[in-house]
Amino acid sequence: MKAHIRTPFPQKILTYGIESGSEQEQALAALCQAQGILLEEVPADRLGDPLGLLAGGQGFAPAKQPWQGETPSRQALVFCGLDEKRVRQLLGEMGKEGLQAELKAMMTAHNQGWPFGALLGELEKEHLALHRE
């Protein structure tokens, strides 16, 4: 039996819905650069791709069909290849800089195979349940 060993993921933050070139995006890019973390925007046409692929992992294939689900309307940050302590530290730094996004998540072994749009959909449901909008 062969072991399925995946290479570690690079430290990366995937963004969705943050306007390219905006003050928010520029400040987030500067923070990531200072921390040695990659920053990558996920365009709507990649919502069907697995989170693990977008995060830079090997062994994931692009979606065969375009995303058929709802297109998320909220800004999102997904932390990949970072441990919980590092994510908390980054969120603290982001708070000091006034950088916010309504939806935030960490990539886990459980969700790395999910289509990115499905992850954002789950985050949206949680957000609505917590804020009863």
**Pairing verdict, β 12-16 and 38-41:** parallel
Q: Answer with the residue of higher pLDDT: 34 or 5.
A: 34
11-63 pLDDT, tens per residue? 999 999 999 999 999 999 999 999 999 999 999 999 999 999 999 999 999 99
DSSP state string for 17-81? SPPTTSHHHHHHHHHHHHHT-EEEE--GGGTTSBHHHHTT-SS----SS---SPPP-S-EEEEES
> Tokens in use for 20?
């390219």
pLDDT tens-digit readout, 49-104 = 999 999 999 999 999 998 999 888 899 999 999 999 999 999 999 999 889 888 99
pLDDT in tens, 108-126: 999 999 999 999 999 999 8
